[in-house]
Amino acid sequence: MSNSSWRFSKRALAMKSSIIRESLKLTAKPGVLSFGGGMPAPELFPVEELIEACRKVLTERPDEALQYGTTEGYTPLREAIAERMNKIGVPCTADKILITGGSQQGLHLLGSAFIDEGDYVVTARPTYLGAIQAFNAFGPKYATLPSDDDGMVVEGLEEILVEKSPKLIYLVPTFQNPDGRTIPVPRRKEILKLAKKYNTPVVEDDPYSELSFEGKVPEHMFSLAPENVIMLGTFSKLLAPGLRIAWLIAPNNECFDRCVKMKQGADLHTNTFAQHVVYEFMKTGALDGHVEKVRKLYARRRDVMVAAMRKYFPEGVTFTEPTGGLFLWVSLPEKINATELMPKAVEKLVAYIPGMAFYPDGGGDNSMRLNFSKANEEEIEIGMKRLGELFQEALNS
Amino acid sequence: MSNSSWRFSKRALAMKSSIIRESLKLTAKPGVLSFGGGMPAPELFPVEELIEACRKVLTERPDEALQYGTTEGYTPLREAIAERMNKIGVPCTADKILITGGSQQGLHLLGSAFIDEGDYVVTARPTYLGAIQAFNAFGPKYATLPSDDDGMVVEGLEEILVEKSPKLIYLVPTFQNPDGRTIPVPRRKEILKLAKKYNTPVVEDDPYSELSFEGKVPEHMFSLAPENVIMLGTFSKLLAPGLRIAWLIAPNNECFDRCVKMKQGADLHTNTFAQHVVYEFMKTGALDGHVEKVRKLYARRRDVMVAAMRKYFPEGVTFTEPTGGLFLWVSLPEKINATELMPKAVEKLVAYIPGMAFYPDGGGDNSMRLNFSKANEEEIEIGMKRLGELFQEALNS
């Protein structure tokens, strides 16, 4: 009966499960307050509006909404996204927008379209774990640069571009997952100048820029260099992740066409029905008001979390204070290993993602990511208290 | 501005666009009666029931249905599928069922999990084009065997297994796309015996077996050798393709886990909302009655198509007469090349998929696939008349 001798691909044998998703399973234990996931606040899901959008789509155009669709995506949705993107200063047209099954698929398509085994990808350290997971299927190496308060540093980038000819520079420039840091415009320009000089595409993964708590965000990298950036946007944080509707903006036809072909092979096309529902929701004009609600709630929760961290965390523990997004980053004294601390955390009924998960080439042992969008204020208060005690005990031991 | 010098992956540079999808674009010309696609009849979509399922899901459990989900899929849906599979004689449990974004994704995950560049995959010729498209991303070679009236022949299989050590044997054993042929049980057993002897997994792609026009279908290959077959099922033909809900049944934990890991990287998980909606629809018990309606309509359309082909096609043109599914296969006299005939067909306002698209290693020039599920009876009659004239002219020229 054992088929352990089936000959899987080298790729499959090398793939590890996402630490995030495995951690989430561990922390599903009853009573655990988890700050590990990256889930939007479900109480804000615009349920009534979505019921109406479903009814409308299925009443008015069931033949189209339930049928096979084009790989590129539902044209009116692509047009609505292009319009919204232009409104926030991203100059793009619908014909370069590819609808994807979440931005995770966008990352996977880019990995597929660009990475041969052994090719380098540049990322910040820490960087978004899901991107590492998506790229790893294609056997890349990573050349990483550290982050300061302004995100990935530029020092060392040119050397990497010269010596390692990376295929992609991957960035979450605004409210980066996992650390909430944002790259200011001057640094964006420096990165783009080098990227251009060495003809290396920049992937701007942008799930959070509309979730700014303090007004305007820096100009998008795509806006600063529309010919050299591939941008990823998503409705997961703006509307609902369960709909799995995101988009990739290609800077030119060749890049667009290659991504479309990879998607044809991967899943033919994204859920037609969900595309219609999201389009219908956008058409009502309710998205802006909804995003405003999300912003306010997350800003409030960040405030509560930061205040509780100040109150409960022992000296020597530092953290970022993001002005948007869903995450902040905690740095512990060197002697504490956040991965090793996890079982004790779960005993104390609190959970996080160990920082090492976000380091594609090792490191980050004494850090962790915390999410402030999902738990309510009371839970945040209790959770930070538990974490403070946990840190204190680790320091004392 | 030109980024044609971006260094795409070898994989991307080798990928061609699906002939089906490109053909479908060509034939979108107004007035063309296309028998090219593989679309279900939209007039049968159970719209009222789906509106109610959406309303129920969003009213009763919006927090879950709109949120991130597990990579494996929505557990109650996996359980409902397992129950249904067992009812049709496929012995499986929910914990080995992975929900995928259409069977196309299942094929892609299997390609990813098994195929290294240069590995062989066994298929019938002709075989399903979407599988070729999915596998091609991983750079396989194909070892193909011809089909007779009973589907892929066994002669030559052992030689391939010995000499080429293929990673997978890919089959659509029941009402195969593109030719509608079905492999009888004795031949299934012969194939499975060899597959087992050489420890090579069989992929049983099974989108059509519930759409039988004449009662029982042969036992599934998975049922005949549950330890050696990976099965793919889908709601695309039973309910609606736009929902993109399908499933992969793994024969053992290792295979299941490896597919799950590839899916994590590819898109995290399948649309949660659509999974809940399909589950809710299944729960009403309406699926069986719906499938019965689909069966009756397609059987009728096949009858009409076959009768019209007898009436209008010139001597020397032969075709399969499938007892289920969505497709039949036309063989033209040697001198006619169906690919070269396409522009003339479109001029005559009729379209098909040239047979060569279904031959992974060349051939099939004088054949074509026709779909009988989408067009209504009048359209079928007119379309076959146009095709008959087209063939006659080609023969005369």
Reported as a single tens digit per residue, the pLDDT across B58-68 is: 999 999 999 99
- The most distant pair of C-alpha atoms in chain A lies apart, rounded to whole Å, by 66
B1-6's contacts with Cβ under 8 Å and 24+ in sequence apart are B1/A227, B1/A252, B2/A252, B3/A199, B3/A201, B3/A227, B3/A228, B3/A251, B3/A252, B3/A254, B3/A255, B4/A254, B5/A199, B6/A114, B6/A199, B6/A201, B6/A254, B6/A255
Q: Do B108 and A266 touch (CB under 8 A)?
A: yes
Residue with tokens 């396409």: B342
Which chain A residues are within 8 Å of B228, Cβ to Cβ?
3
Which amino acid, one-letter code, is at A168? L
Confidence class for position B2, pLDDT limits 50, 70, 90:
very low
Cα separation, A301 vs B14, in Å, equals 49
State which of B269, B286, B303 marks the end of a domain: B286
Residues 6+ apart with CB under 8 A from B364: B125, B126, B354, B355, B356, B357, B358
Residues 6+ apart with CB under 8 A from A281: A46, A49, A50, A53, A239, A287
pLDDT of residue B268: 95
Cα separation, B138 vs A133, in Å, equals 18
SS3 label, residue B142: strand
Question: What tens digit of pLDDT does each residue of B77-120 get?
Answer: 999 999 999 999 999 999 999 999 999 999 999 999 999 999 99
Q: Are residues A153 and A177 in the same domain?
A: yes
The residue ranking higher by pLDDT, B30 or B377, is B377
pLDDT at B3 over 50: no
DSSP letters spanning B69-96:
--SS--HHHHHHHHHHHHHTT----GGG
- The most distant pair of C-alpha atoms in chain B lies apart, rounded to whole Å, by 66
Q: Which tokens sit at B286? A: 């309406």
Q: Is the CB of residue B171 less than 8 Å away from at least one CB of chain A?
A: no
The minimal CB distance from B134 to the residues A18, A45, A265 is found for A265
Q: Is the CB of residue B262 less than 8 Å away from at least one CB of chain A?
A: yes
Cα separation, B121 vs B161, in Å, equals 10
- How near does any CA of chain A get to the CA of B21, in Å? 8
pLDDT at A307 over 60: yes
Q: Give residue A336's domain range.
A: 15-44+288-396
CA-angle at A269, arms to B380 and A55, nearest 5°: 80
List the beta bridge partners of residue B98: B248
Comparing CA positions, the residue from A254, A138, A194, A134 lying closest to residue B9 is A138
pLDDT of residue B29: 79
- How near does any CA of chain B get to the CA of A184, in Å? 25
pLDDT of residue A16: 77
pLDDT of residue B1: 41
Q: Is the CB of residue B105 less than 8 Å away from at least one CB of chain A?
A: yes
Enter the ipTM.
0.96
**A325 with A175: CB under 8 angstroms?**
yes
Cα separation, A180 vs A189, in Å, equals 20
CA distances to A129, A199, A395, A396 from A332, rounded to whole Å, are: 20, 38, 10, 13
Name the A residues in 111-170 with CB < 8 Å from any B CB. 112-116, 119, 130, 133-134, 136-138, 165, 167
Instruction: Please give the distance of CA B165 from its chain centroid, rounded to a whole number.
Output: 25
pLDDT at A339 over 50: yes
**A298 with A326: CB under 8 angstroms?**
yes
Domain CATH for B392: 3.90.1150.10
Does B382 fall in a domain?
yes
Q: Is the CB of residue B180 less than 8 Å away from at least one CB of chain A?
A: no
Which chain A residues are within 8 Å of B65, Cβ to Cβ?
242
Question: What tens digit of pLDDT does each residue of A77-90 get?
Answer: 999 999 999 999 99
Does A239 fall in a domain?
yes
Instruction: Please give the distance of CA A24 from its chain centroid, rounded to a whole number.
Output: 16
Cα separation, B191 vs A249, in Å, equals 46
Q: Are residues A197 and A237 in the same domain?
A: yes
**B107 with B135: CB under 8 angstroms?**
yes
Burial A206-228 (b: 16+ CB within 10 A, else e): bbbbbbbbeeebbbbbbbbbbeb
Q: Do B199 and A5 touch (CB under 8 A)?
A: yes
pLDDT of residue B7: 93
- How near does any CA of chain B get to the CA of A4, in Å? 7
pLDDT at A3 over 50: no
SS3 label, residue B243: helix
Comparing CA positions, the residue from A360, A361, A341 lying closest to residue A351 is A341
**B331 with B148: CB under 8 angstroms?**
no
Phi, then psi, of B235 in degrees rounded to 5 = -90, 0
Task: Please name the residue of chain A whose CA is at the shortest distance from the CA of residue B250.
Answer: A3
* Total domains, chain A: 2
Q: Which tokens sit at A318? A: 């530092």
Q: Are residues B33 and B73 in the same domain?
A: no
pLDDT at A22 over 70: no
Type and span of the H or E element at B347: helix B338-347
pLDDT at A21 over 80: no
Name the B residues in 74-103 with CB < 8 Å from any A CB. 101-102
Q: Is the CB of residue A12 less than 8 Å away from at least one CB of chain B?
A: yes
Q: Do A271 and B274 touch (CB under 8 A)?
A: yes
State which of A258, A284, A310 marks the end of a domain: A284
Comparing CA positions, the residue from A170, A239, A241, A249 lying closest to residue A211 is A239
Residues 6+ apart with CB under 8 A from A263: A71, A98, A100, A105, A109, A269
Q: Are residues A182 and A36 in the same domain?
A: no
Task: Please name the residue of chain B whose CA is at the shortest distance from the CA of residue A63.
Answer: B42
Cα separation, A132 vs A170, in Å, equals 10
Residue with tokens 């946007």: A233
pLDDT at B327 over 80: yes
Q: Are residues B180 and B274 in the same domain?
A: yes
Q: In chain A, which ranges are E strands?
A: 33-34, 97-100, 120-125, 141-148, 151-152, 168-171, 202-205, 229-234, 246-249, 318-319, 327-331, 350-351, 353-354, 367-371
* Cβ–Cβ pairs < 8 A, chains A and B: 276
Does A3 fall in a domain?
no
- How near does any CA of chain B get to the CA of A252, in Å? 7
Confidence class for position A215, pLDDT limits 50, 70, 90:
confident
SS3 label, residue B52: helix
Comparing CA positions, the residue from B263, B257, B233, B255 lying closest to residue B246 is B233
User: In the predicted model, what is the mean pLDDT of residues A40-45?
Assistant: 96
Comparing CA positions, the residue from A354, A350, A312 lying closest to residue A330 is A354
Q: Are residues B274 and B207 in the same domain?
A: yes
**A171 with A157: CB under 8 angstroms?**
no
The minimal CB distance from A21 to the residues B55, B101, B264 is found for B264
CA distances to A319, A372, A383 from A345, rounded to whole Å, are: 18, 17, 10
- How near does any CA of chain A get to the CA of B101, in Å? 6
User: In the predicted model, what is the mean pLDDT of residues A235-250?
Assistant: 98
Q: Which among A244, A260, A373 is the top mutation candidate for probing chain B, defined by the most B β-carbons within 10 Å of its own β-carbon?
A: A244
Q: Do B37 and A262 touch (CB under 8 A)?
A: no
Q: Is the CB of residue B346 less than 8 Å away from at least one CB of chain A?
A: no
pLDDT of residue B20: 65
Confidence class for position A1, pLDDT limits 50, 70, 90:
very low
Does A1 fall in a domain?
no
pLDDT of residue A24: 66
Confidence class for position B55, pLDDT limits 50, 70, 90:
very high
Residues 6+ apart with CB under 8 A from A107: A130, A131, A134, A135, A203, A205, A232
Question: What tens digit of pLDDT does each residue of B229-269 get?
Answer: 999 999 999 999 999 999 999 999 999 999 999 999 999 99
Name the A residues in 196-235 with CB < 8 Å from any B CB. 199, 201, 227-228
Residues 6+ apart with CB under 8 A from B12: A112, A113, A114, A258, A261, A262
Name the A residues in 48-67 with CB < 8 Å from any B CB. 50-51, 54-55, 58-59, 62-63, 65-67
The minimal CB distance from A66 to the residues B42, B251, B271 is found for B42
DSSP letters spanning B247-267:
EEE-SSHHHHHHHHHHHHHHH
Strands B229-234 and B202-205: parallel
pLDDT of residue B215: 85
Does B5 fall in a domain?
no
Q: Are residues B246 and B274 in the same domain?
A: yes
The minimal CB distance from A264 to the residues B5, B18, B258 is found for B18
Q: Do B55 and A50 touch (CB under 8 A)?
A: no
User: In the predicted model, what is the mean pLDDT of residues A157-173?
Assistant: 98
Q: Do B66 and A43 touch (CB under 8 A)?
A: no
Q: Do A6 and B241 touch (CB under 8 A)?
A: no
* Average pLDDT of chain A, as a whole number: 95
Does B3 fall in a domain?
no
Q: Is the CB of residue B9 less than 8 Å away from at least one CB of chain A?
A: yes
Q: Are residues A216 and A228 in the same domain?
A: yes
Q: Are residues A64 and A114 in the same domain?
A: yes
Q: Do B9 and A114 touch (CB under 8 A)?
A: yes
Q: Which among B5, B6, B230, B238 is the top mutation candidate for probing chain A, defined by the most A β-carbons within 10 Å of its own β-carbon?
A: B6
- How near does any CA of chain B get to the CA of A310, in Å? 31
Cα separation, A169 vs A183, in Å, equals 14
Q: Which tokens sit at B272? A: 């949660």
- How near does any CA of chain B get to the CA of A136, in Å? 8
pLDDT of residue B30: 86
Q: Is the CB of residue B28 less than 8 Å away from at least one CB of chain A?
A: no
- How near does any CA of chain B get to the CA of A211, in Å? 18
DSSP letter (8 states) at residue A397: -
Q: Are residues A65 and A85 in the same domain?
A: yes
Cα separation, A221 vs A202, in Å, equals 8
State which of B286, B306, B321 marks the end of a domain: B286
List the beta bridge partners of residue B368: B330, B354
Does A9 fall in a domain?
no
Cα separation, B247 vs A254, in Å, equals 33
**Lowest mean pLDDT segment, chosen from A5-19, A274-288, B135-149, B379-393:** A5-19
The minimal CB distance from B271 to the residues A15, A242, A258 is found for A242
Comparing CA positions, the residue from B301, B306, B312 lying closest to residue B385 is B312
Task: Please name the residue of chain B whose CA is at the shortest distance from the CA of residue A59.
Answer: B47
Q: Are residues B271 and B253 in the same domain?
A: yes
pLDDT at B197 over 60: yes
Comparing CA positions, the residue from A288, A219, A250 lying closest to residue A106 is A250
Cα separation, B224 vs A88, in Å, equals 58
Q: Are residues A279 and A301 in the same domain?
A: no
**B326 with B373: CB under 8 angstroms?**
yes
pTM for the model stands at 0.96
User: In the predicted model, what is the mean pLDDT of residues B185-190?
Assistant: 98
Q: Do A9 and B63 touch (CB under 8 A)?
A: no
pLDDT of residue B24: 66
Which chain A residues are within 8 Å of B266, Cβ to Cβ?
104-105, 108, 134, 137, 266
Domain CATH for B232: 3.40.640.10
Q: Is the CB of residue A42 less than 8 Å away from at least one CB of chain B?
A: yes
DSSP letters spanning A299-343:
HHHHHHHHHHHHHHSPTT-EE---SBSSEEEEE--TT--HHHHHH
Cα separation, B377 vs B328, in Å, equals 16
Q: Is the CB of residue A17 less than 8 Å away from at least one CB of chain B?
A: yes
Q: Do B45 and A66 touch (CB under 8 A)?
A: yes
pLDDT at B22 over 70: no
Q: Is the CB of residue B254 less than 8 Å away from at least one CB of chain A?
A: yes
List the beta bridge partners of residue A146: A125
Q: Which among A13, A99, A261 is the top mutation candidate for probing chain B, defined by the most B β-carbons within 10 Å of its own β-carbon?
A: A261
Which chain B residues are within 8 Å of A272, Cβ to Cβ?
241-244
Does A100 fall in a domain?
yes
